Structure 1
């Protein structure tokens, strides 16, 4: 009769757990205002629905083999990403910790007592005696109010947010590497331009010295030519310093010491790709930082349910099966076996000084904060896309104007040099024309480098080929569990 009653109680509690109440609000994604189209999309070719997704290896659009080789080294070697991956695994294990609360806990105990009964007691055996015992204890707290289920939901959301944060960091690192690489190549182009300028200035200095030797030019012309030549050399040295620092930064991004990476001089021949731009609503599904904020919001919503469930009583069921005897040799005989169902304990906190109320309010406040952070992430995402589109359009216009300025400056320099050789103008005119030509050439290189950098920024603002469908589902967020994880001792 007792066993039958215990079985009925067990099944009743199981049914209550499965069909039990779930405290707290079910998660509903808050709405955000999404524009129909980007404001700065004027003059930009908007992608069609079938080709508006960036490739996973988006850097290959630039057609630079050296960049491709560097990007492939980021994921496996970058130490910041390695730390983020460890944090994601930690979030997965927190999900496993929450899942463990569904199952009962059990333990074994072995006891031995050596004692002597007090004088005057009626005992079967007088004097010093032993009492040996072993017991198997099982305890289980059914999830009547959904506290465990809400905690699992919260931890799954946090793990998914961690996965999205990892992807956002990966995208940011890849974008930073591409931008640093393009800056390095722009410095290479400037160094090549300065080397050509130094060679041209050296020839001009030689001509000026020859003119001075025959009394056609003044000594001041020679001094000015020498000063201009040394100034160009100094600029070349300054560019080399900046290039070395950029190369060191690239080494750290790929997880190497600066001494291990040597990027040879190269020309700025990278092509500027056509980047497909989707509608603003698609950006919400493709930016990992927005996905991280949204999953964090879901996690904080579930914690409201955990805080509400703490108001209600808890029920703990336990059972014990063991052996107890005064004779060690008979410890595991059936005659010494005993069992017990219980105690079945219910506990309900009636007075806590307002702690439960404060915890519930704190959970609601945390959710409100996460909603604001999510909406701010959306606004920031739209701003970054608009900024990149605006910069690319403006820089394209500036590039066309700058190219015209370069051609005009080069023509003016050629005319002025010929006039100087003919003796119709002074050397100061040559210096002004040379400085103008050099500055315009450097500006053209700088503008093209900026266009590449903002192209990378636009790719990053659009999510870099990632999508919310790449988020791990609830099972994946819990991580892989092996049978060895349930052993009472570690095997690592």
Structure 2
């Protein structure tokens, strides 16, 4: 036995180094280069600021009611409750893995009735007992437990990042739904102004027809224009109600309990200062999905060490004590015993199988690096796209505002010419149709601009910090 242990000693000492590679950010990772840290190419003009994104970016709209709704959602949203529970579960698993390096104990005992053959004892036999307690402490010379703890803590960080991403999504969803309610009312007001203008034309046409200067056909065409515009209103009301129902569910309530005071919101949320963006380096540090991808890479790198530890023996120290024997000798010195020593366990693994597991773990770590790079590049692309879309939407609004003003002037001129008999009614309808289209397009563009702002905030990944 002594010679056998000495033959295994080199393997035991070799296992004293923690198995597997130590995790560090790969040098060839996209995030480790200088490129992501540059300013965003789409941040140009007075609409943007290179200032850091505030943690609670929705407060940039300076709307107390919106701030209140976001805070309520962050406290009661069902998706966030699930994410918090998942984080607690990951933390509990990490504690469970960490407990693997502490002392383990076991208590056992029993009573038995036995009659060994050829003993000459009379039936029913001898009543005996045994009771004992044992304790063991793993030495973890191979580093299996250390790497498993490292992996479990990184898994906990992944769950934390997932929870943070849920917070970002909830804050953006509440802000978007709130803006949707206000945008629907804004669109309703715009379309109702168009209807009022067209109805005024209809009434003027009816008066002219009664005075002999118009025809029934003119009145019919004017009425059709009013009917066409009024037909758009119910869909906008339905859209507003859908946003209200969504807000209720985001707050963890049934749809019927939507905040009724929001139904009258008519002013679009507006930024009171240039939109702050920071730079790419801050984006990578802030985005929860980037952090989750990096932590997943760390967890799977540690699992390479867990797989490699199977090549080495497992060593622990422990001892046991107990009493046992026939009840007639209970309490005597012969009934007590104990042991203390080192336990060496080595299953002499099938090395090709273990090496295949190591290779699989290493391949997973390589895949994680590719996924991490993809996540970083995707985050930068999403942000640049959102910033550029917002910049273009601002230019579109400026052009649509000019088109609306020109259409309003043309409609007024056509109406005046018709009243003085210098043009026909078809020109009036065409001019009013152009004005109505310009009004609606401008309102839609202003609504979309708020949506574009929220896309930027969502891409920047803020809103989870506390």
TM-score (norm 1): 0.85
2:295 matched to which residue of 1? 295
CA contact (8 A) 1:112 1:132 kept: yes
1:281 matched to which residue of 2? 281
1:54 Cα offset (Å): 2.2
1:466 Cα offset (Å): 5.6
1:42 matched to which residue of 2? 44
2:403 matched to which residue of 1? 405
Secondary structure at the aligned position of 1:344 is classed as: strand
2:67 matched to which residue of 1? 68
Secondary structure at the aligned position of 1:310 is classed as: helix
1:327 Cα offset (Å): 2.2
CA deviation string 1:415-440 (max 9, x = no partner):
22222222322222121111211211
1:153 Cα offset (Å): 0.4
> 1:319–1:399: structure 2 CA closer, same or farther, 3 Å change rule?
same
Q: Return the alpha-carbon distance in structure 2 between the equivalents of residues 264 and 332 of structure 1.
A: 84
Secondary structure at the aligned position of 2:135 is classed as: strand
2:22 matched to which residue of 1? 26
1:482 matched to which residue of 2? none
CA contact (8 A) 2:190 2:443 kept: no
**Once structures 1 and 2 are overlaid, which stretch shifts more, 246-255 or 98-107?**
246-255
Q: Aligned pairs, how many?
A: 447
Q: Return the alpha-carbon distance in structure 1 between the equivalents of residues 77 and 99 of structure 2.
A: 34
Q: What are the residue-to-residue correspondences of 1:208-247 with 2, within 5 Å?
A: 208-247=205-244
1:343 Cα offset (Å): 7.3
1:258 matched to which residue of 2? 255
Structure 1: where are the runs of 5+ without partners? 1-8, 471-492
Secondary structure at the aligned position of 2:265 is classed as: coil
> 1:318–1:112: structure 2 CA closer, same or farther, 3 Å change rule?
same
Q: Of residues 137, 142, 151 in structure 1, which corresponds to 2:134? A: 137
2:393 matched to which residue of 1? 395
Q: Does 1:205 align with 2:207?
A: no
1:224 Cα offset (Å): 0.9
CA contact (8 A) 1:313 1:348 kept: yes
Q: What are the residue-to-residue correspondences of 1:437-476 with 2, within 5 Å?
A: 437-464=435-462
2:154 matched to which residue of 1? 157
Q: Does 1:314 align with 2:337?
A: no
> 1:398–1:46: structure 2 CA closer, same or farther, 3 Å change rule?
closer
Secondary structure at the aligned position of 2:278 is classed as: coil
2:362 matched to which residue of 1? 364
Q: Return the alpha-carbon distance in structure 2 between the equivalents of residues 278 and 69 of structure 1.
A: 26
CA contact (8 A) 1:45 1:276 kept: no
1:44 Cα offset (Å): 5.2
Q: Return the alpha-carbon distance in structure 2 between the equivalents of residues 283 and 331 of structure 1.
A: 73
> 1:438–1:213: structure 2 CA closer, same or farther, 3 Å change rule?
same
1:194 Cα offset (Å): 1.6
> 1:466–1:45: structure 2 CA closer, same or farther, 3 Å change rule?
farther
Q: Does 1:110 align with 2:109?
A: yes
Q: Return the alpha-carbon distance in structure 2 between the equivalents of residues 103 and 320 of structure 1.
A: 16
1:145 Cα offset (Å): 0.7
Q: Return the alpha-carbon distance in structure 2 between the equivalents of residues 20 and 45 of structure 1.
A: 60
CA contact (8 A) 1:74 1:253 kept: yes
Q: Return the alpha-carbon distance in structure 1 between the equivalents of residues 412 and 71 of structure 2.
A: 46
Q: What's the RMSD between the two structures over aligned residues?
A: 2.4
1:486 matched to which residue of 2? none
> 1:188–1:358: structure 2 CA closer, same or farther, 3 Å change rule?
same
CA contact (8 A) 1:275 1:459 kept: no
Q: Return the alpha-carbon distance in structure 2 between the equivalents of residues 25 and 398 of structure 1.
A: 54
Q: Return the alpha-carbon distance in structure 1 between the equivalents of residues 123 and 214 of structure 2.
A: 130
1:410 Cα offset (Å): 1.2
CA contact (8 A) 1:402 1:444 kept: yes
Secondary structure at the aligned position of 2:348 is classed as: coil
Q: Return the alpha-carbon distance in structure 2 between the equivalents of residues 46 and 224 of structure 1.
A: 47
Structure 2: where are the runs of 5+ without partners? none
CA deviation string 1:196-243 (max 9, x = no partner):
222222222222112112221111111111111111111111211222
1:365 Cα offset (Å): 0.9
